[in-house]
Structure 1
Amino acid sequence: MHTTPGIAAATVGLTKVYGSGDTQVVALDGVGIDFREGEFTAIMGPSGCGKSTLMHCAAGLDSPSSGSVRIGTTELSTLNDRQLTELRRDRIGFIFQAFNLLPTLTALENITLPLTIAGRRPDRQWLDRVIAMVGLSQRLDHRPAQLSGGQQQRVAVARALASRPAIIFGDEPTGNLDSRAGAEVLGFLRDSVRDLGQTVVMVTHDPVAAGYADRVVFLSDGRLVDEMTRPTPDRVLDRMLRLSGGNPQTPAFDTGSRTS
């Protein structure tokens, strides 16, 4: 008997407007989306379509102009700054394009930093499992300068997983990596969903990266315009070409890391 997965995060009527009058830009225009528990979702669309704005609002890093955002059953607009900070720290993991590691700390210290700041002891069994999954057992004493870019992003993935968050948001997490290191990191995110029951939401413009997800949602001009389950890089690229009017020269996506 299958249980229906819950909703890790959701937006309803999400709108984000920057500026006013002639300079007004509508970055999000009434977006409603559910991110289901134990699912890997990729967000794609042409440059400037609102991908990162959607992620930042859904993760509580930015506040919407109107509409609502929930993490689990918690409505973010009801929280004060301290409560919002605690929710982000305790229930959300972040992986950014820039690895955001502290250079003076070892890999292990960087991984456990959010827990240290929160005054919480790591769950040793969970931490060991995460470290083994991302292949860092032999690198825990190394500082970031002693690690390759791919290894640094593995540390960032482990850090995001360490507190066992309800949901992980990744903003172009493989954007600074070569295709091999990027494939490793995406594989770890895929494994964390399959083996650890993690929920992952990733903004990307790379069809190959999107191919690791369970579903891909497409934005255009601040609106959700399409959705795809069981994506493949070729199907995603085809959909992106259609969204950009069939012109591969438009800055809608990146085919640089596409494998033949």
Structure 2
Amino acid sequence: MPAITAATSGLTKVYGSGDTQVVALDQVSITFKEGEFTAIMGPSGCGKSTLMHCAAGLDSPTSGSVRIGTTELSTLNDRRLTQLRRDRIGFIFQAFNLLPTLTALENITLPLTIAGRRPDPQWLERVVAMVGLAGRLGHRPAQLSGGQQQRVAVARALAAQPAIIFGDEPTGNLDSRAGAEVLGFLRDSVRELGQTVVMVTHDPVAAGYADRVVFLSDGQLVDEMTRPTPDRVLDRMKSLDTRSRTS
């Protein structure tokens, strides 16, 4: 049985109060297992990004619990939470978030540099080779295509050997070819490196790269699909969109 890398239990997130109150997450319980690629999908405003931000320790839930491994995030002070995010969680954002004055290699190793850690040379070489950046390490972001910049972001997320990687629409700013490359790298990191990946996406094609897809609607988990295909995901999304319009 694969170990559980991260889990939420009864996760609730409420914004505002009174007439302006919005329940973004409503009693969400989910596990993310070691060596598994999960896509989170659902209509706009369903709570996808809120779930990811709470699970990654970027936002605090109103109630419920979040664990990374056996560590309950609510027990950590700000310093220890920052340390846990730095050491055990990787992030890939839609906007790449690379520093323009640093080379690709410096961007990849930046989280380790900030933590005062040296990268494992063999691991770094393996990651760089996997994302096909060996000939681009001395280039700055402005000298790279969008797809190459996102490859740098993927390598940066993998470099510290985190327990789990969260991606927020990681291919949203890429054309279909570059997006497919990045999704292939994420899938390879799960299969070859045993990485755990959780990705928020609205794209059925992107979700087809995952091992499973979980669907949210109105802040609740409403369905789960294993061995997804783009067509099956699209059909399920259409039914959720219809439900959200009629509810």
Q: TM-score, normalised to structure 1's length?
A: 0.91
Distance 2:58 2:195 in 1: 20
Matched residue count: 245
Which of 68, 89, 111 in structure 1 is aligned with 2:86?
A: 89
CA gap of 1:46–1:90, structure 2 versus 1, over 3 A, is same
Q: CA deviation at 1:28?
A: 0.1
Deviations 1:170-224 (A, max 9, x none): 0000000000000000000000000000000000000000000000000000000
Q: CA deviation at 1:97?
A: 0.3
CA gap of 1:57–1:147, structure 2 versus 1, over 3 A, is same
Partner SS for 1:158:
helix
CA gap of 1:209–1:20, structure 2 versus 1, over 3 A, is same
Deviations 1:82-103 (A, max 9, x none): 0000000000000000000000
Partner SS for 2:189:
helix
Partner SS for 2:107:
helix
Cα pair 1:205 1:254 within 8 Å, conserved: no
Unaligned runs of 5+ in 1: 241-251
Q: Say whether residues 1:119 and 2:116 are aligned partners.
A: yes
CA gap of 1:219–1:83, structure 2 versus 1, over 3 A, is same
Cα pair 1:206 1:257 within 8 Å, conserved: no
Partner SS for 1:254:
helix
CA gap of 1:146–1:82, structure 2 versus 1, over 3 A, is same
Which of 212, 220, 223 in structure 2 is aligned with 1:215?
A: 212
Q: Say whether residues 1:31 and 2:32 are aligned partners.
A: no
Q: CA deviation at 1:256?
A: 22
Unaligned runs of 5+ in 2: none
Q: Among all aligned residue pairs of Structure 1 and Structure 2, give the percentage whose two residues are the same amino acid.
A: 91
Structure 1 runs of 4+ aligned residues shifted over 2 Å read 252-260
Cα RMSD between the aligned structures? Answer: 3.9
Distance 2:39 2:234 in 1: 13
Cα pair 1:219 1:226 within 8 Å, conserved: yes
Cα pair 1:205 1:253 within 8 Å, conserved: no
